[in-house]
Amino acid sequence: MADHYDVLGIARDASADDIKKAYRRLARELHPDVNPSGDAAERFKLVTHAYDVLSDPQQRQQYDLGGSGGFGGAGGGNFGGFGDIFETFFGAGQSQRGPRSRRERGQDALLRVEVELEEIVFGTTRQLEVDTAVLCETCNGSCCSPGTEPATCDICRGSGQIQRTVRSLLGNVMTSSPCGTCRGYGTVIPSPCPTCAGQGRVRARRTIPVEIPAGVDTGLRIQMPGQGEVGPAGGPNGDLFLEIKVKTHDTFSRSGDDLLATLEVQMTDAILGTTATLASLDGDVSVEIKPGTQSAEIITIKERGITRLRGSGRGDLKVGVQVVTPVRLNSKETKLVQDFANSRRPIPPQFSTFQQGLFSKLRDRFLHL
């Protein structure tokens, strides 16, 4: 390929303005709309590519290291980079180079989902609306307008790579870099799809059915393979991750797979005993208050907690009893309580033997409720 400076007709020390002026002059002369001949079209492509390289200071500096031979210039000891040096001396074999695919894997997506405590007892199904990238229906991921297709890049001839010779201490080293015209794809899109602007995907809202298993807890992430964004040019979908947050419940709280609740019991019911029917998260439960029940006692109802995420069965419902002492009594009630007190041997309040279990129950109850 000809030297870029020769293509533009400028000296090697030309300024940025000189490069721009030369390009504009040649572009007006060779543009296909002005000069339809095939030779002019080929020269126009060379001029455009030469300008792209020389107008970029970094690319120009790298190109200048290759001398006046241009791309693919001959020289002694041509190696395709340090990988080829090792392959030459150690027989590792020739490396494989080629254009990269436009189809890439889509990004993963993270979605936070709030669920009620009732929903995680047995699990639930949700229909979630997600704003994400989906396949373009107009081009079906081809990126081209209907009836058209990608064209081979005229600059790199479909390889996706541009090679140039760089002088080094080892001699002239052949380097390879992605083609600036096709960005390494080896093809260009002459007529991009009008719907997706040549991306092969568009933004859209779609509904995804989600199975939320029983027993999940706040902070748990559920992976849904292939439910993330579709990739560029119709590439495979990424994954969707659901991060769970369980809402606070007014009555019940959670400790592992167990449900915790507080039950207020009147003093007379605690003395005489009773049975209460209570509404749990999945139906009514019967709670037996035994005679003489004390505050901070825990009543355990088996298998009425949360279904275990791992394993089988359910946790328990643990009810902490709180005996309610009446604070306003009428005269009749006061006399009855006085008669009851007088009927028992008067025992003044005093310290009793320390009960570690009582404090453990109180501590655990207030930590969890």
Range of the domain at 184: 71-96+151-188
What pLDDT sits at residue 173? 73
Residue 26 belongs to domain with CATH number: 1.10.287.110
- Per-residue confidence (pLDDT) for residue 74, from 0 to 100: 31
Are 238 and 304 within one domain?
Answer: no
Q: Was 156 annotated as part of a binding site?
A: yes
Cα(41)–Cα(7) distance, integer angstroms: 14
Q: Are residues 117 and 223 in the same domain?
A: yes
Residue 144 is labelled as binding a ligand: no
Residues 237 and 278 in one domain: no
d(CA 230, CA 238): 7
Residue 9 lies in a domain: yes
Q: What is the sign of the dihedral through the CA atoms of 168, 172, 178 and 182?
A: positive
Looking at the structure, tell me whether residues 91 and 122 fall in a common domain.
no
CB distance 62 to 162 below 8 Å: no
pLDDT at position 29 is 83
Q: Are 172 and 221 part of one and the same domain?
A: no
For the chain, the straight-line distance linking the first and the last C-alpha, in angstroms and rounded, comes to: 79
Number of folded domains that form the chain: 4
Spans of the chain, pLDDT less than 70? 1-2, 32-34, 36, 38, 65-97, 168-171, 345-346, 352-369
| Residue 103 placed within a domain | no
Residue 7 within any structural domain of the chain:
yes
Looking at this protein, which amino acid is placed at residue 354? F
Is 101 contained in some domain? no
pLDDT digits (tens, 9 = 90+) for 272-312: 999 999 999 888 999 999 999 998 899 999 999 999 988 88
228 and 155 in a common domain: no
* Residue 42 pLDDT: 78
Same domain for 314 and 215, yes or no, is no
> What pLDDT does 361 receive?
55
* CATH code of residue 291: 2.60.260.20
Last residue of a domain, one of 225, 246, 267: 246
Contact 278, 251 (CB under 8 A): no
Is 102 inside any structural domain?
A: no
Ligand-binding site membership of 143 (annotated): no
Residue 180 and residue 82 share a domain:
yes
- Residues 118 and 168 occupy one common structural domain: no
Whether 156 and 228 share a structural domain = no
Q: Check if the beta carbon of residue 87 is closer than 8 Å to that of residue 93.
A: yes
Task: Report the alpha-carbon distance of residue 296 to residue 207 in Å, rounded.
Answer: 48
DSSP secondary structure, 274-314, as one string: EEEEEEETTEEEEEEE-TT--TT-EEEETT-SPBPSSSSSB
Residues 306, 358 within the same domain: yes
Residue 136 annotated as binding site: yes
Within-domain flag for 265: yes
User: What pLDDT, on a 0 to 100 scale, did the predictor assign at position 270?
Assistant: 92
Assess whether 48 and 79 both reside in one domain. no
Cβ(212)–Cβ(119) below 8 Å = yes
Q: Can you read off the two tokens belonging to residue 26?
A: 């040649």
